[in-house]
Amino acid sequence: MQYQAVVRKIGPAQDVVEIERTALPTLRRDQVRVRLLARSINPSDIITISGAYAGRTTLPFIPGFEAFGVVEACGEEVHGLSPGTRVLPVRSAGGWQEFKDTDPSWCLRVPEALSDFEAATSYVNPMTAWLMLHEKIGLRPGMRIAVNAAASSIGSILIGLANAGGVEPVAIVRSEQSLQRLHGRLEAVIIDRANGDLAAGLAGRHGLDAVLDCVGGARAGLLADALRPGGHFVHYGLLSGQSIPNSFWASHPDMTFSFFHLREWVHSEAMGDVQHAYCDVAAQIASKIIATEVREVFPLENIRQALQSALPFRTGGKVLLA
């Protein structure tokens, strides 16, 4: 038997996620069973539970895109993995349970240098940050970039990686409280409390090479205004809950615009390439260039309390299920 967090109807996560006890199925010959030890609660989990990706979500389902564990057992046709191997099973949800049966080729090997909690937070935000900086905008020393939600978990990672690459970002936050959580070397800090704050803060800071935006909404236009001609605008989140307005693209015809979603990248790449990128990220975590604050840890069976603590995601630090 095992505990599972199950969603049987779409809605607010703290209302619709239920804990159930269920028997373990027979392990398929071509799969591995991973005993999960630590799991993150991420915005992507909550967005999926709310129904934002209803077209690719079949009810009921077990949430959780980021979970770390060890191989518990291998099917008879599995080669290259053995019990005890530390892994992150990716490419699908299902992390909010005690055991996950999965395709062995979808298991990223986790180095011994990472602690269990570091491993449980080593995938969604660090991989997204690394790929946006190195694959999307081609980070190089001396670039000028802006990062909003800069005091968030992924904002902190972006700043750390940018500093390691010889770049000091413009950090955009929403409050004095967020300002106090900033770390790293920064070109400037803008506190975006009201409509005029962001425009005033960016005045005189035009000529940015890139903007990394996870907020969306009308402020995206103000950020794009600060780009140099041909500058890169990468949109990877919607914390405001508001889409970028249609006028945004017509008003900025000379920018380079792209979306980034880790799930789409992982599903489009060979797993060998995904593992290679993950090894680069894991090395940054082991060397403390990337660090994720863990704010609270709850047992899986206390999922409701964990969700109440995690939401909204403005408080800082990750909430884990372990």
Together in a domain, 21 and 149 = no
Burial category of 103 from C-beta neighbours within 10 Å (exposed 0-12, middle 13-18, buried 19 and up) = middle
Together in a domain, 257 and 301 = no
For residue 90 the two structure tokens come to 């990716």
For residue 82 the two structure tokens come to 């053995």
**Between β-strands 86-89 and 67-74, what pairing exists: parallel, antiparallel or unpaired?**
antiparallel
Residue 215: inside a domain: yes
- Round to whole Å and give the CA distance between 98 and 81: 19
Among 217, 246, 262, residue at a domain's last position: 262
Among 214, 244, 262, residue at a domain's last position: 262
CB 223 within 8 A of CB 211: yes
Give yes or no for a cis peptide into 245 (omega within 30° of 0).
no
Residue 269: inside a domain: no
Together in a domain, 131 and 255 = yes
Among 224, 244, 262, residue at a domain's last position: 262
> 86 phi and psi, to 5 degrees?
-85, 125
- Round to whole Å and give the CA distance between 183 and 169: 11
Residue 245: inside a domain: yes
Together in a domain, 162 and 108 = no
Together in a domain, 8 and 98 = yes
Residue 45: inside a domain: yes
Together in a domain, 147 and 242 = yes
- pTM comes to 0.94
Collapsing DSSP states into helix, strand and coil, what is residue 191? strand
Residue 67: inside a domain: yes
DSSP state of 112: T
- Domain span at residue 186? 126-262
- What's the CATH code of the domain at 227? 3.40.50.720
Give the residue among 84, 99, 83, 91 at the shortest CA–CA distance from 34: 99
Residue 90: inside a domain: yes
For residue 68, give the amino acid letter: F
Maximum distance among all Cα pairs of the chain, rounded to whole angstroms: 64
Together in a domain, 169 and 246 = yes
Together in a domain, 109 and 186 = no
Residue 282: inside a domain: no
Together in a domain, 72 and 52 = yes
Mean pLDDT (10-residue bins), the chain, 322 residues: 96 95 97 98 91 81 97 97 98 96 97 98 98 98 97 94 98 90 94 85 93 94 96 92 91 96 94 96 96 95 95 81 97
Together in a domain, 108 and 142 = no
> What integer pLDDT is reported at residue 315 of this predicted model?
66
For residue 183 the two structure tokens come to 């770390």
> 128 phi and psi, to 5 degrees?
-60, -50
Number of separate domains in the chain: 2
- What's the CATH code of the domain at 17? 3.90.180.10
- Round to whole Å and give the CA distance between 271 and 93: 17
Residue 91: inside a domain: yes
Together in a domain, 165 and 238 = yes
- Round to whole Å and give the CA distance between 172 and 149: 6
Collapsing DSSP states into helix, strand and coil, what is residue 162? helix
Together in a domain, 134 and 64 = no
